[in-house]
């Protein structure tokens, strides 16, 4: 295991002590202890230790689904699951604590005490946080210990995302003390001091990092201790995500130049907490002035925030908000009411009778109140209703709205009710309706304009419209003049606009891609009612989608998968610079 964050000499303790010894000898008895202490302090990273570090409280604070109870942690079963786009059940999404992690050098033991297991309890150690999309998640290397009635199952994922299971018979236990001993050669598992398994290591933690997760099924369990201790001369360190640092930008950023062109204008990007806390290159770009706002990429979608009725998980959004505040950025809330990314308990609500329809309305309003209430005064702009129009393939001029659970229960009125609830929940927040395919002329735009005009006339408290501006293929190409004219038509009825989710495919080459990004940015910045321009992601390293069951990567963003600026970004910077020069002439 390596510990990249630590000083190089840390890896060769033998040598350190040898030279330290000679040094101490020369210094003589009086200066001895002081000099040795000084030497060690200069070479040993702050906080790295041979002692054990307890992570129990961290899970209580940062793990979605965890509750602190009587000094222990109660791991609830909130049925975290990722739904497919059509709403059918998908992959399990056991929660991860992203607030802290462990950096390790050498061998170590992880201890855990589990008790009161209602049915199945699991503890998971990850080499990196999983990458969570709203239709799937990519499992990193790691190990999961799952205690089920009469069986203990160990699952190991290697770097190539291959999954291996090992099962062991088990007597039902009141209290389980787990010890996991990691050495280079193997993982040994002890249960109540008895060895259960010795599995040849597949080098799970070559990252030198361990992130913790815990989940339960069929009821909760108590985690009264989770700790790690280095052995055989190893060392460990607890890293707090909120203390992560970045280097200040040394050149003009897109946000900086955009503000010089138009004061108050915001450049944003959709971001996720996993790469933010685990990938230093991602967070460098995310937080060092390139952007003035963070859109909560997936963290505020219903399946992640309210996986069970009335049970909320705010850990990821809370952390993104804290990072945004620390770096002088704002958060854009995405999204409250949407036909997709809803958990099964929502999409399977019955909607036949009046009473059932009222229940759905209550569920929607409660959700808006709880989430906006928590972030009242802290998140200034929201996508209250997302993609209300039917998808292209279902769109008909006589049935333009998406056939969502909300539409089924309330008809078009769900939009009005959602915005009214949002206005009440945070009267200062600016409320948006967010939609794709509004950039071009045609029946989709006509239908949207008549809908929004009608809603405004009825006094629905809508402040603006998000143009997603996804350009996935040739037919999505955006004509910036048409787009600008749509934004101006909205301004005429008192609405702001945002470019809310732009990404552009690169099949026609980098110049075509760059020009598309540039034209839309300039259309927005030159239209006074367009308040911000936001890309859907930062870097192609995390630009994933699923096709035919496998994960594919796109090249649609401003930084490539090596975190280098693409031609598109360079073009945006030079265009903004040139437009400044033109003004000053």
The single residue listed with the structure tokens 């702009």 is 381
Q: Which stretch binds ligand XIL (CB under 6 A): 127-135, 255-263, 282-290, 305-313?
A: 127-135
Rounded Cα distance, 585 and 578, in Å = 11
Residue whose CB is less far from ligand XIL, 279 or 297: 297
Q: Which stretch binds ligand XIL (CB under 6 A): 117-125, 133-141, 200-208, 422-430?
A: 133-141
User: Among 261, 386, 480, 543, which residue interacts with ligand XIL (rule: CB under 6 A)?
Assistant: 386
Residue whose CB is less far from ligand XIL, 76 or 91: 91
Query: Min. distance of Cβ 133 from ligand XIL in angstroms?
Result: 3
Query: Min. distance of Cβ 51 from ligand XIL in angstroms?
Result: 40
Residue whose CB is less far from ligand XIL, 176 or 434: 434
Query: Min. distance of Cβ 460 from ligand XIL in angstroms?
Result: 20
CA distances from 566 to 255, 292, 509, 556, 561 (A): 16, 20, 12, 10, 10
Residue whose CB is less far from ligand XIL, 126 or 536: 536
Q: Applying CB under 6 A, does 435 fall inside the site for ligand XIL?
A: no
Residues 6+ apart with CB under 8 A from 544: 131, 133, 138, 551, 552, 553, 554
Residue whose CB is less far from ligand XIL, 221 or 536: 536
Residue whose CB is less far from ligand XIL, 214 or 422: 422
3-state helix, strand, coil in the chain (%, to 5): 35, 30, 35
Q: Applying CB under 6 A, does 135 fall inside the site for ligand XIL?
A: yes
User: Among 58, 103, 105, 134, which residue interacts with ligand XIL (rule: CB under 6 A)?
Assistant: 134
Beta-sheet strands, E only, within 327-388: 330-338, 381-386
The single residue listed with the structure tokens 């992601």 is 537
3-class secondary-structure state, position 247: coil
Residue whose CB is less far from ligand XIL, 469 or 566: 469
Q: Which stretch binds ligand XIL (CB under 6 A): 11-19, 94-102, 132-140, 276-284?
A: 132-140
Query: Min. distance of Cβ 340 from ligand XIL in angstroms?
Result: 8
Size of the site for ligand XIL (CB under 6 A): 10
Q: Spell out the SS3 assignment of 287-307.
A: HCCCCCEEEECCCCCHHHHCC
Contact letters (x/-) for ligand XIL, 456-485, by CB under 6 A?
Answer: ------------x-----------------
Start-to-end CA distance of the chain, whole Å, equals 58
Query: Min. distance of Cβ 387 from ligand XIL in angstroms?
Result: 6
CA dihedral over 405, 407, 411, 415, signed as positive or negative: positive
Cα angle 66, 67, 70 (rounded to 5 degrees) comes to: 135
Q: Which stretch binds ligand XIL (CB under 6 A): 128-136, 261-269, 392-400, 484-492?
A: 128-136
Residue whose CB is less far from ligand XIL, 230 or 464: 464
Closest CA to 268 of 254, 283, 247: 254
Q: Which stretch binds ligand XIL (CB under 6 A): 15-23, 131-139, 308-316, 552-560?
A: 131-139
Query: Min. distance of Cβ 545 from ligand XIL in angstroms?
Result: 6
Q: Applying CB under 6 A, does 133 fall inside the site for ligand XIL?
A: yes
Contact letters (x/-) for ligand XIL, 22-61, by CB under 6 A?
Answer: ----------------------------------------
Residues 6+ apart with CB under 8 A from 154: 143, 144, 145, 146, 165, 166, 167, 168, 189, 197, 199
Element (H, E) at 346: helix 344-347
Q: Which stretch binds ligand XIL (CB under 6 A): 115-123, 129-137, 229-237, 309-317?
A: 129-137
289: left (phi over 0), alpha (psi -120 to 50) or beta: left
Query: Min. distance of Cβ 338 from ligand XIL in angstroms?
Result: 7
CA distances from 11 to 3, 42, 110, 183 (A): 8, 14, 21, 16
- Which residues 486-545 are close enough to bind ligand XIL by CB under 6 A? 501
Question: DSSP secondary-structure letter at 45?
Answer: P
Residue whose CB is less far from ligand XIL, 290 or 434: 434
Beta strand pairing call for 330-338 and 293-296: parallel
User: Among 76, 298, 534, 535, which residue interacts with ligand XIL (rule: CB under 6 A)?
Assistant: 298
CA dihedral over 54, 57, 58, 59, signed as positive or negative: positive
Query: Min. distance of Cβ 436 from ligand XIL in angstroms?
Result: 6
- Which residues 181-220 are close enough to bind ligand XIL by CB under 6 A? none
Query: Min. distance of Cβ 258 from ligand XIL in angstroms?
Result: 23
Q: Is 125 exposed, middle or buried (0-12, 13-18, 19+ CB in 10 A)?
A: buried
3-class secondary-structure state, position 240: strand
CA atoms within a 13 Å half-sphere pointing along the CA-CB vector of 535: 27
Query: Min. distance of Cβ 341 from ligand XIL in angstroms?
Result: 7
CA atoms within a 13 Å half-sphere pointing along the CA-CB vector of 200: 0
Structural Rg of the chain based on CA atoms:
26
User: Among 297, 306, 316, 439, which residue interacts with ligand XIL (rule: CB under 6 A)?
Assistant: 297
Q: Applying CB under 6 A, does 317 fall inside the site for ligand XIL?
A: no
Query: Min. distance of Cβ 134 from ligand XIL in angstroms?
Result: 4
Interface contacts to ligand XIL, rule CB under 6 A: 133-135, 297-298, 386-387, 434, 468, 501
């Amino acid at each position: 295991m390596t510990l990249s964050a630590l000083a190089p000499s840390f890896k060769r303790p033998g040598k350190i002590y040898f030279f330290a010894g000679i040094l101490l000898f020369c210094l003589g008895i009086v200066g001895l202890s002081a000099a040795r202490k000084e030497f060690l302090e200069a070479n040993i990273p702050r906080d790295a230790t041979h002692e054990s570090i307890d992570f129990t409280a961290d899970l209580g604070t940062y793990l979605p689904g965890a509750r602190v109870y009587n000094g222990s942690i109660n791991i609830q079963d909130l049925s975290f699951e990722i739904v497919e786009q059509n709403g059918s059940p998908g992959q399990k999404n056991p929660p991860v604590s992203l607030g802290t992690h462990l950096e390790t050098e050498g061998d170590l033991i992880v201890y855990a005490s589990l008790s009161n297991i209602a049915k199945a309890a699991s503890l998971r150690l990850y080499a990196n946080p999983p990458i969570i999309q709203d239709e799937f998640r990519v499992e990193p290397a790691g190990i999961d210990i799952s205690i089920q009635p009469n069986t203990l199952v160990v699952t190991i994922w290697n770097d190539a995302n291959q999954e291996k299971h090992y099962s062991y018979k088990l007597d039902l236990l009141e209290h389980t003390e787990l010890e996991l001993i990691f050495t280079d050669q193997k993982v040994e598992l002890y249960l109540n001091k008895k060895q259960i398994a010795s599995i040849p290591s597949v080098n799970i933690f070559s990252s030198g990092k361990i992130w913790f997760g815990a989940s339960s099924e069929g009821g909760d369990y108590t985690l009264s201790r989770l700790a790690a201790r280095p052995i055989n001369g190893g060392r460990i360190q607890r890293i707090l995500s909120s203390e992560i640092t970045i280097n200040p930008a040394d050149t003009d950023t897109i946000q900086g130049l955009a503000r010089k062109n138009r004061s108050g204008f915001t450049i944003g990007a959709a971001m996720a907490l996993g790469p933010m806390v685990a990938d230093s290159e991602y967070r460098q770009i995310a937080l060092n002035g390139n952007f003035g706002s963070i859109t909560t990429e997936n963290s505020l979608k219903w399946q992640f925030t309210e996986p069970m009725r009335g049970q909320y998980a705010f850990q990821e959004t809370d952390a993104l908000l804290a990072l945004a505040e620390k770096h002088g950025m704002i958060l854009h809330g995405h999204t409250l009411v949407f036909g997709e990314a809803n958990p099964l308990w929502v999409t399977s609500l019955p909607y036949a009778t009046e009473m059932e329809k009222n229940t759905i309305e209550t569920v929607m309003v409660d959700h808006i109140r709880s989430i906006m209430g928590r972030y009242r005064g802290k998140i200034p702009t929201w996508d209250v209703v997302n993609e209300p129009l039917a998808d292209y393939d279902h769109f008909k001029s006589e049935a333009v709205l998406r056939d969502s659970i909300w539409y089924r229960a309330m008809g078009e009125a769900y939009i009005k009710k959602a915005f009214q609830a949002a206005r009440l929940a945070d009267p200062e927040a600016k409320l948006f309706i967010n939609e794709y395919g509004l950039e071009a002329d045609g029946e989709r735009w006509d239908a949207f304009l008549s809908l929004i005009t009608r809603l405004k006339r009825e006094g629905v408290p809508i402040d603006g419209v998000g143009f997603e501006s996804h350009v996935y293929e040739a037919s999505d190409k955006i004509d910036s003049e048409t787009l600008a004219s749509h934004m101006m038509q909205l301004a005429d009825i008192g609405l702001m606009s945002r470019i809310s989710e732009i990404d552009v495919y690169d099949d026609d080459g980098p110049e075509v891609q760059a020009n598309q990004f540039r034209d839309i940015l300039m259309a927005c910045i030159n239209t006074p009612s367009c308040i911000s321009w936001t890309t859907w992601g930062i870097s192609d390293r995390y630009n994933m989608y699923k096709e035919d069951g496998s994960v594919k990567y796109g090249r649609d963003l401003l930084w490539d998968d090596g975190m280098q600026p693409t031609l598109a970004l360079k073009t945006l910077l030079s265009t903004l610079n040139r437009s400044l020069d033109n003004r000053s002439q």
